[in-house]
C-alpha cells in the first residue's frame, strides 16, 4: 500500500469488511480496502503528531495517542471523533484497547499509565 510518503507508520490494523487502517506520525488516519485503494482519510485535531494508534477489536474505532497529552477516539465508519480524553501531563506514547473494546490503556511521557472507560 502507498499513501504515507515520507511518514513513519505508528499504527496499522484490520477492520471489518476487509479494510485496513493506518496512522502515521502526522495527524492522519487512513482507511484502505485490501487492494490498497484509499477509502477514507481522517484528520486528527490535536496539537502535535499522533504518536501511536490502536484499533478496536471489532475494527470500527481508532484510538490515537497524541503528542499534546490527549487521546482521540474515532468512529472509522463515519470519520467522526467520539471522545476526547485528557489526563497525561506530557505526550501520550502508547495506547491499547482491552479485548472487549470497552476500556483503553495509555502510557505517557509523564511516566504514568492510565485506564479509560470508553463510550459505547
pLDDT of residue 49: 84
Q: Give yes or no for residue 4 having a pLDDT over 70.
A: no
Is 117 a domain residue?
no
27 found inside a domain: yes
Q: Residue 120 domain-assigned?
A: no
Tens-digit pLDDT profile for residues 36-84: 899 888 889 888 888 888 888 888 898 888 989 999 999 988 889 999 9
State the pLDDT at residue 31. 82
Q: What beta strand segments (E) does 26-111 contain? A: 28-33, 38-43, 50-55, 61-66, 70-75, 81-86, 92-97, 103-108
Q: What is the pTM of this model?
A: 0.83
Residues in a beta bridge with 41: 30
CA atoms within 13 A on the CB side of 115: 5
- Examine residue 86 and state whether it is found in any structural domain, yes or no: yes
Grid coordinates belonging to 63: 484510538
Domain span including residue 77: 9-112
More confident call, 2 vs 83: 83
| CATH, residue 24 | 2.120.10.30
Nearest to 91 by CA among 112, 118, 63, 120: 112
Amino acid at each position: 500500500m502507498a499513501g504515507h510518503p515520507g511518514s513513519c507508520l505508528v499504527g496499522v490494523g484490520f477492520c471489518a469488511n476487509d479494510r485496513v487502517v493506518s496512522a502515521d506520525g502526522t495527524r492522519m488516519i487512513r482507511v484502505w480496502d485490501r487492494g490498497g485503494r484509499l477509502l477514507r482519510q481522517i484528520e486528527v485535531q490535536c496539537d502535535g503528531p499522533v504518536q501511536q494508534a490502536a484499533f478496536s477489536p471489532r475494527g470500527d474505532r481508532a484510538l490515537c495517542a497524541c503528542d499534546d497529552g490527549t487521546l482521540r477516539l474515532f468512529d472509522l465508519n463515519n470519520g467522526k471523533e467520539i471522545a476526547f480524553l485528557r489526563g497525561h501531563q506530557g505526550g501520550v506514547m502508547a495506547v491499547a484497547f482491552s479485548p472487549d473494546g470497552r476500556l483503553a490503556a495509555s502510557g505517557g511521557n509523564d511516566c504514568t499509565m492510565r485506564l479509560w472507560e470508553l463510550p459505547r
